[in-house]
Amino acid sequence: MTKCLTIVRPRAQPRLKYEKRAQAGLIRNAKRAPCARNNTKFSMSDNDQEKKNRMTSCSDDGCVIRCEAGCSNGQQPCARSLRTSCDPALPSYDVFLGGSCGNTVWRRQLVIPFLKKRAISYYDPQRTFWSENMIYEESIAKENSSLFLFVLDPATVNATSFLEIAYFAARKAPKLVVVFLGKNEWKGKAHPEDLPDRVKTCQLLDRILLAHEVPLLHSIEEALGYIEDEVIGSKAWREAMATPQQRLPYLGLKTKKAYRAVGDSAKTAWGRLRSAASRLALTGVADTMAFFGTHLVLPSLPLGIILLMIFLVNVVFFSLHTVWMKARAKRPRGIVDMTRTPMPRGPSIPIPRLNTIATPLIPKQPNKEAVRQSKKWVESLGFELGAVPQGMETAWRKVPSIEPLTSSIDAEMPKMKKSPSEASNHVFLGCSSLDELDWVNKEAAPFLQRHEVAYSTVLACDSVPPESRMILLKKGSRAFRQVLYHIPSTKTFLSGMVEIAYLLGHSDWQVTLCVSKEAELLEAQNDREDEVERAARRRRNDCYAIAFCYLKDMAKRHQCRVFSDIDESLHHCVKLSQTGGC
């Protein structure tokens, strides 16, 4: 095996100038002949050639790359066009090609030729055989990618892709684009038992993308145009001209952008011209009528004086109109509160099982007579103001979603905003299935009450409509510091994993997962199924198992625990609440 030494140094120039160019990202690594090596690892070191096969060390003059791998070019030094850790600001890949894998060919037939033709770097995660070791490799590529493209093919299950989309949307990835090919076909093409969960997953994905303003496209051609515009069109002139394959696309994009700008300017100018012409025509008609009317009333008045009077009236009118428009532009119309009463802050979301009362935009002072009559009516009932009557107390306790101390989000949100340290002690119970909530009232609620831990069931009750659930998670992001999420069965396994991935995307949330053994086993085969249904179930189980591996990796990276027993997860939540989430 031949030992070789490769030294990559910048051109001879002053040190300060080189540092400025390096910070601007103008220094690129040298490109040499390829080297035949497999599974070589890079690490930072000073002088340790014998322990590591490959090391990279940085100095003031440049990057020194030492190699002990076998070279295919004889005595020629090893070469690579790989970015080293000396320039961590630049991403390693421009596009991460996520989405449907398996037997799909959209990558190698459509996307990859397009990217190669324009010299856009990419990472392709599609492999012939999948192994759990690929999760770490893909995570490194995702962290070093500047744009994420996810194409969802209706012929595949897309379980892992749904998780990654929800995760990156919650993390507010800088550039994320989703292409869903045949959404209705995907919802209806599944095992009969999975159809409700697929519909729920599609609705959840739509709400996530809408809440975080992620573009949802319906063709790969639209996605390719979006990638070209984001990757090449956002570059500077000098950087785009430095790559020969990107010169013509860059000029084409700039030409289209200039054409659209000229078209918009022309439309704006044409609109202003039409408006001015219409105003001028109306003014001419009014002046003509005023001229003939004045001449008929005062025939002895000279025509020149009549024209002069009409001209002065027009000058005064248009001057006042111009002053009025400028004053209106500087001071837009606002709602003035003449009562000088502070406007109360209303709840951002409806409170579960409580009536939401709309607060008037301009609050009025309370009527003293009405307050006195209301107080007199309350006293006539036989109990003090604010107390619950004896007859109404039992009816109030029968409501399952109203739990003591913490079920009202309107009461919890202000308290958590005032004291963030106390917010981590509250446990929010969540569930993927709204039909399997027995564990909340039978196990979770008594256990947390016994340990004096405040909790809320707002994510585990059917009183919050599904369309308001995403608004609840987004608006109450400061309150949801500790969440216990439970997947009770396989019926809602996919939608539950997608919602968990969305929760894990928030770095300041402590999420505890509880996936029952029944759900994790993905149910055994049913003897009454035909061959088509059995094949669909096996394919579903394989995809769900792979997606669950990715979900556990996400939880591990965020230091979140995954349990299979609800009692163990409750003990863990109590421990986190007592230690302040540490």
Q: What is the pLDDT of residues 71-83, one digit of tens each?
A: 333 333 333 333 3
Q: For residue 530, is pLDDT > 70?
A: yes
Q: Which CATH number fits domain 93-231: 3.40.50.2300, 3.40.50.10140, 3.20.20.80, 3.40.50.1980?
A: 3.40.50.10140
The pLDDT of residue 88 is 52
Q: At what angle do helices 220-231 and 247-297 cross, to 10 degrees?
A: 90
Do the beta carbons of residue 427 and residue 485 sit within 8 Å? no
| 313-363 pLDDT, tens digit each | 999 988 998 898 888 888 765 444 444 444 444 443 343 343 334 444 444
Return d(Cα 223, Cα 231) in angstroms, integer. Answer: 12
pLDDT of 111 strictly over 60: yes
Predicted local confidence at residue 370, as pLDDT: 55
| pLDDT tens per residue across span 8-41 | 444 444 444 434 444 444 333 433 333 333 333 3
- Place 57 in a pLDDT band, splitting at 50, 70 and 90: very low
Task: Establish whether domains 93-231 and 390-578 are of one fold.
Answer: yes
Written as six digits, the tokens of 212 are 């975080």
Residue 541 — pLDDT band, cuts 50, 70, 90?
Answer: confident
Tokens linked to 507: 């770095």
* SS3 label, residue 56: strand
pLDDT tens profile 177-198: 999 888 778 877 777 788 888 8
166: closest CA among 483, 437, 474, 522? 474
Say how far apart CA 76 and CA 68 lie, in whole Å: 13
All residues at 6 or more sequence positions from 178 whose CB lies less than 8 Å from its CB, including other chains: 150, 152, 165, 209, 214, 215, 216, 217
Region 108-118: what's the mean pLDDT? Answer: 93
182 CB burial (10 A radius; 0-12, 13-18, 19+): middle
Distance CA 538, CA 520 (A): 14
Confidence of residue 247 (pLDDT cuts 50, 70, 90): very high
Report the pLDDT value the prediction gives residue 535, as an integer from 0 to 100.
Answer: 81
- The pLDDT score that the predictor gives to residue 540 is 86
Compute the average pLDDT of residues 118-144. 90
Claim: this prediction has a pTM higher than 0.85:
no
Residues 95 and 231 sit within 8 Å (Cβ to Cβ): yes
Residue 376 pLDDT:
57
At 375, the pLDDT band (50, 70, 90 cuts) reads: low
Percent over 70 (pLDDT), the chain: 66
pLDDT at 268: 93
Looking at per-residue pLDDT, the higher value among 423 and 131 belongs to: 131
54: β partners:
67
- Please tell me whether residue 152 adopts helix, strand or coil conformation: strand
Per-residue pLDDT of 431-481, as tens digits, reads: 988 888 889 888 998 998 888 888 888 888 877 777 777 777 776 666 677
| Separation of alpha carbons 462 and 469, rounded Å | 10
Beta pairing partners, 98: 150
**Interior angle at CA 466, CA 475 and CA 361, nearest 5:** 45
pLDDT (tens digit, 9 = 90+) per residue, 405-426?
Answer: 334 444 444 333 334 444 445 7
Domain 390-578 listed as CATH 3.90.1690: no
Domain ranges of the chain: 4-67, 93-231, 390-578
d(CA 83, CA 9): 14
Query: How many C-beta atoms lie closer than 10 Å to residue 289's C-beta?
Result: 10
What phi and psi values does residue 402 have, to the nearest 5 degrees?
Answer: -95, 100
Give the pLDDT confidence score for residue 74 in this predicted structure. Answer: 39
Distance from C-alpha of 499 to C-alpha of 570, rounded to nearest angstrom: 20
Mean pLDDT confidence for 528-545: 82
Residue holding tokens 């010169």? 247
Other Cβ atoms less than 10 A from the Cβ of 36: the count is 10
DSSP-derived letter for residue 11 is P
How far apart are alpha carbons 256 and 492 in whole angstroms?
46
- Return mean pLDDT, the chain: 72
Distances (CA, A) of 378 to 355, 366, 396: 20, 17, 19
Least confident interval from 86-95, 176-185, 237-246, 474-483: 86-95
Measured between alpha carbons, how far is 169 from 175 in angstroms, rounded to an integer?
10
Q: Kindly report the CA angle at 438 between 435 and 440, in degrees rounded to 5?
A: 110
